[in-house]
Amino acid sequence: MSALALRVLEAGTMGAAPDVPRPYPSIGDAVSIGAARGAGRKGYSFEGVVVQRRRSALNTSIVVRREHAGFCVYLALRLHSHDVRALRARSGA
């Protein structure tokens, strides 16, 4: 995809009206991510709180934090990756 086409797509998503649901979760939102990784494409679900968001539009990546058995687990991924199958967000954790 050319750089010009990416700019056109990004411009379309950035000018959304305030009452339209956000396409990307904000920091502090609780999210549930359905993803698939590996050669066999085995799926898994990861639930946690967004602690970091980088870039914008088509290059958006997030870091999600989850506590499991007394340890903090972090998952960093790009939102428009082929690995992400589903994303559900609740505002405020």
Using one digit for the tens of pLDDT, what is the confidence trace for 15-45?
544 444 456 788 888 988 888 776 666 788 8
Instruction: Identify which of 25, 71, 72 has the alpha carbon closest to the alpha carbon of residue 50.
Output: 25
Residue 66 CB coordination number (10 Å): 14
Q: What is the pTM of this model?
A: 0.66
From the candidate CATH numbers 2.30.30.790, 3.40.718.10, 3.40.50.800, 3.10.310.30, the one assigned to the domain spanning 3-90: 2.30.30.790
CB–CB of 53/26 below 8 Å?
yes
Q: For 23, which DSSP code? A: S
Tell me what the mean pLDDT of segment 3-11 comes to: 63
Q: Show me where the domains of the chain are located.
A: 3-90
In three-state secondary structure terms, 22 is coil
CB–CB of 93/28 below 8 Å?
yes
